[in-house]
Chain A
Amino acid sequence: MTLLATVNSDVPFNVAQNVGFGVIAVLMVTGALRVVTTNNVVHAALWLVLVLAGAAAQFILLAAEFVAITQVLVYIGAIVVLFLFGVMLTRAPIRGEAGLTRSNWFGGALVGVLLLGLLSFTLLDTFGGDRLPADTRLTLRPAAVSQAEGTEPTAGSNVGAVSDSIFSRYLIPFEAVSVLLTAALIGAIVLARKE
């Protein structure tokens, strides 16, 4: 645990947060592994729900409630349902399908492991034991505490700030995304429509 040694220890760790993170992270990794290994597409979709929900929980830990809620609404609410429809429409057998994984999965695994190794090395090398500056502020403590520390009160909801940001600074990308969604909608209809 060399990285813990480099942590500047003037602020104590918030144990509850870290435990929460650990549990969720383990669940997410397990879920993700099952998504890519299970032999049943429907199960894969359900495992995916676990990963997505875990990601939403992580967002809440990072004080990004709005992203978390959007994650739940859009991903779990819409995208996973879409996946299930896709599974149904393509009549994949509900029961296990022996060959859901390709025969040369080994290459994929190799690439994945290589990638993970490289990424981990780079991350540890670059960010080492950097603590989130908001470690103390990210908790759901009342605003009074952060004011006492002379920092911006972010403990409250930041939905307003996010929306201000979207509709002022990022307005053009926002409009572009809406055009993209329209295009995707039309494209999907054109593709999927029966002649």
Chain B
Amino acid sequence: MLSHVWIIPALPALSFVLILAFGKRLPRGGSEIGIAAVAIAFVLACGTGVGWIQRVNHPPAAHEAPAAEHEEPAAGGHEEPAAAEKGEEPAAAGHEEPAAAEEGEESTAAEEGEEHHVTPPVVRGTTWLQSGGTKVEVGTMLDGLSAVMLLVVTLVSLLVHVYSTEYVAGDRRYTHFFAFLSLFTASMLFFVLSKTTLQMIVGWELVGLCSFVLIGHWWEEKPNSDAALKAFLTNRVGDVGLLVGVSILFFAAGGTFDIIGINEMANTGEIRHLLLLVASCSLMAAVMSKSGQFILHTWLPDAMAGPTPVSALIHAATMVVAGIYLIARLYSVFWHGFQIGESTINLMAVIGAVTVVFGALLAFVQNDIKKVLAYSTISQLGYMVMALGVGAWTAAIFHLFTHAFFKACLFLGAGSLSHAVHSFDMKQDMGGMRRFMPRTYWTFMIGTGALMGIPPLAGFWSKDEILAGASGLGGEGGYKLMLVMGTIGAFCTCAYMSRVLWYVFWGEPRGAAALHTPHESGPRIVIPLVILAALGAVAGFANLPSFAGESIALRFEHYVEPTAAYFPGGLDAAFRHPEFTLWIAVVSTVVGILGIGLAYLWFWRGAGPHGITERSRPARAGYRLLENRYYLDHLYTGVIAGGTKGPVARAANWVNQNVIDGLVNLVARGTRGSGQWVYTHIDQGVVDTLVNGSGATAEGSGQLLRRQQTGKVQSYGAYLFAGATILAAVFVFIASTS
């Protein structure tokens, strides 16, 4: 059954086509098709998850010829070594030499109480095209990572579909909206099930397209279409990196796009380290743009111009984690490229850590609740990238998993609020909302708690695992800088989320909230909120630390982390798992509570140096810097775009004006001048008739040349052809005489 996962992305794709074709004529404008397709996809994804768990519990033995073997004739090649490793039998036929060499490390890992059954991924593929000896395959690849992503995407998408039926009810492009929600779901599922890097590019671009269309859903307003364009163009910058990276890997791996193949070659050292490093850096550019990492993150806050359900689904829970998924999928490449296991600092970890803090700082100065959440998303994505950068793979994916639920909950909660007050401005149009919207309030509180990392909500477990990874993994001394940055990030998160709570739910109603009494949203909005809040509360228990007991601890790690040869896990001694460290958990919680406490004093009690931004120059400068988002947008549009556009145009104009025109005029004038010169100087001395003749000829030729500048394209064409003919004749003549 697991080899038929292609049905899951196919369903929403079909729904996209059906909605486009018939949506307008249906009583509910096509939303029923979308919901049905995504609901079935969700059920199937659950089935896939269960199937995968069973497969991990009872890995198919190589000699039993499991179902997966004959279902994937095109992909049998790499299945075999992975399956052969099963059961620690180095003598098994087809066992690869390097894998055998690593057997010692594998048993070391096993000593840590981790039984190392190798569960081969379920791969199924078919040849898409063949050109000049290169075979390009398409197909699905299912392992724990894909299964988790399937669950997250289908669940959040389903809830967002249901939510949207009320949120965008009556919209003039209601059908269009649901069509693209379906297409987005299909693309994202296609992306996470990709068997080859080429397929990943296709999925990557498709989700980007959907993001563009949905951000610009209300394109009649200029800021919205600008935001859509900005998102699209910023992502193009990263896509260049993706293309370059994939191409490098394609050639480095000897002409294959196969993800498993590339990873295995990276693990066995068949690809040179330099190539891996360059490929990793290129792919990092793609990750930075798609997952909103610092310096290419500027599109994400603007993307909040789209409808709120879209922000929840695409710009918080699923699409923006595509970059994280890309790293996780090609982790062997990054692992060896950045030497994550041995180093104490590397590009990925630094980008992640910087993003954590810078994103969180930006969240302080926003008054639009969705923008706060957007910067919060950037910051949390930074945590994930940082976790991957320090080698805590499972922690990153686990954080992705929990973050999807509580951040979707927060976004949908923000949507519910704005549905009531028709505004996103916390400072002007909200306040005291907890009295009007109790259910939204409670779900938002749980989501906030999870985001802050308050035990025992989901965020606590995943964030703590990341911090533990930063302190315990890596080379000598670990990634200390990342630990510090992560803790600062935790502090900021708590503080800015407290600020949001104060502005939205406490205080007196202001603006729209005061004018007309807001009321709780309907069930189709509240029920998804409740489900997501519940998941945000309990999802953390999926990966309890090892003190919880053998049977329930580290389940997520056990089922999700790949064990086969395409993952550095089983092969590299440096790949370790972070241990739960009490002092880190305590410190991060205390720091968080400190953040909440300070915010409490500042907002609720009115304590602290209010108005410092007016009084103190450094404080004002800092505030200004944040308010202008580190001036990155100015840098991009003003300096870079303006800097290239203007001068290039001016340079072209200058060349046109001075060089080309000048050249022609020069020729004309020069000929004429020489005619004059000939006339005045030589003329007088030499025979008059001859001189008169030559002077006249020169002047005439000058006039003639000038007249040729007619502006008539065909005349120029004639010269072109004549010149080419004469030149060719010269060549022919030379060739025939020599």
**A111 with B722: in contact, given A118-B728, A122-B732, A125-B736 (CB under 8 Å)?**
yes
| Chain B residues positioned under 8 Å from A74 (CB to CB) | none
- Closest Cβ neighbor of B726 among chain A residues: A114
Q: Which residues of A contact B130 (CB under 8 A)?
A: 168, 171
Query: What is the CA–CA distance of A104 and B712 in the complex, to the nearest angstrom?
Result: 12
Chain B contact residues (Cβ within 8 angstroms of A): what range? Answer: 10 to 19
Residues of A within 8 A of B92 (CB): none
In the assembled complex, the Cα of A169 lies from the Cα of B732 at a distance in Å of 34
A121-B732, A168-B132 in contact; A107/B725 too (CB < 8 A)? no
Helix, strand, loop or mixed for chain A's interface?
helix
How far does the alpha carbon of A125 sit from the alpha carbon of B714 in the complex, in Å?
31
Residues of B within 8 A of A169 (CB): 131-132
The reply to whether A114 and B725 contact each other, CB–CB distance below 8 Å, is yes
Q: Which residues of B contact A118 (CB under 8 A)?
A: 725, 728-729, 732
How near does chain A come to B300, taking the closest CB pair, in angstroms? 29
| Contacting residues, chain A, for B714 (C-beta < 8 A) | 102
Tell me which residues across on chain B come within 8 A of A179, comparing CB atoms: none
Assess whether A172 is interfacial by the CB under 8 Å rule: yes
Q: Does B22 contact A (CB under 8 A)?
A: no
- Given the complex of chains A and B, what is the CA–CA distance between A125 and B736 in angstroms? 9
- Asked whether A172 lies within 8 Å of B721 as measured between CB atoms, the reply is no
Q: How far is the CB of B680 from chain A (nearest CB, A)?
A: 34
Contact B131 A111 (CB under 8 A): no
Fill in one digit per residue for A117-137: 1 if any B CB lies within 8 Å of its CB, else 0.
Answer: 010011001000000000000
Q: Within 8 Å CB of B65, what residues of A?
A: none
Q: Smallest distance from the beta carbon of A165 to chain B beta carbons, Å?
A: 12
A171 contacts across to B, CB distance below 8 A: 129-132
Residues of B within 8 A of A122 (CB): 732
Q: How far is the CB of B723 from chain A (nearest CB, A)?
A: 10
Q: Which A residues, 149 to 164, have Cβ-Cβ distances below 8 Å to chain B? A: none
A183 on the B face (CB < 8 A) = no
Give the size range of A's interface with the partner. Answer: 10 to 19
Against A, the Cβ 8 Å flags (1 = close, 0 = not) of B717-735 are 0100110011011001000
Which residues from B are CB-within-8-Å of A110?
A: 722
Inter-chain contact A111/B132, CB cutoff 8 Å: no
From known contacts A102-B714, A121-B732, A122-B732, infer whether A114 and B129 are also in contact, taking CB-CB under 8 Å: no
List residues of chain B with CB within 8 A of the CB of A121. 732
Q: Which residues of A contact B131 (CB under 8 A)?
A: 168-169, 171-172
User: Is A108 an interface position by the 8 A CB rule?
Assistant: yes
Residues of A contacting B718 in the complex (Cβ-Cβ under 8 angstroms): 107-108, 111
In the complex, A102 Cα to B714 Cα: how many Å? 10
- Smallest CB-CB separation from B136: which chain A residue? A171
Chain B minimum-CB-distance residue to A172:
B131
| B728 close to A111 (CB less than 8 A) | no
CB distance from B104 to the nearest CB of A (A): 46
Counting CB contacts under 8 A, is A177 at the interface?
no
CB proximity of B255 to chain A, nearest CB, Å:
14
Which residues of chain B from 82 to 121 have any CB-CB distance to chain A below 8 Å in the complex? none
Please tell me if A82 contacts chain B, counting CB pairs below 8 Å: no
A102-B714, A121-B732 known; A115 vs B129 contact (CB < 8 Å): no
Q: How far is the CA of A168 from the CA of B729 in the complex (A)?
A: 39
Q: Give me 9 other A-B pairs in contact (C-beta within 8 A), A168-B131, A171-B131 excluded.
A: A107-B718, A107-B722, A108-B718, A111-B721, A111-B722, A118-B729, A125-B736, A171-B130, A172-B131
Return 15 A-B CB contacts under 8 Å, by A number: A102-B714, A104-B715, A108-B718, A111-B721, A118-B728, A118-B729, A118-B732, A121-B732, A125-B736, A168-B131, A168-B132, A169-B131, A169-B132, A171-B130, A172-B131
Q: Which residues of B line the A interface, CB within 8 A?
A: 129-132, 714-715, 718, 721-722, 725-726, 728-729, 732, 736
Q: Which 8 pairs show the lowest CB-CB distances between chains A and B?
A: A171-B131, A111-B721, A111-B722, A115-B725, A114-B725, A107-B718, A118-B729, A122-B732
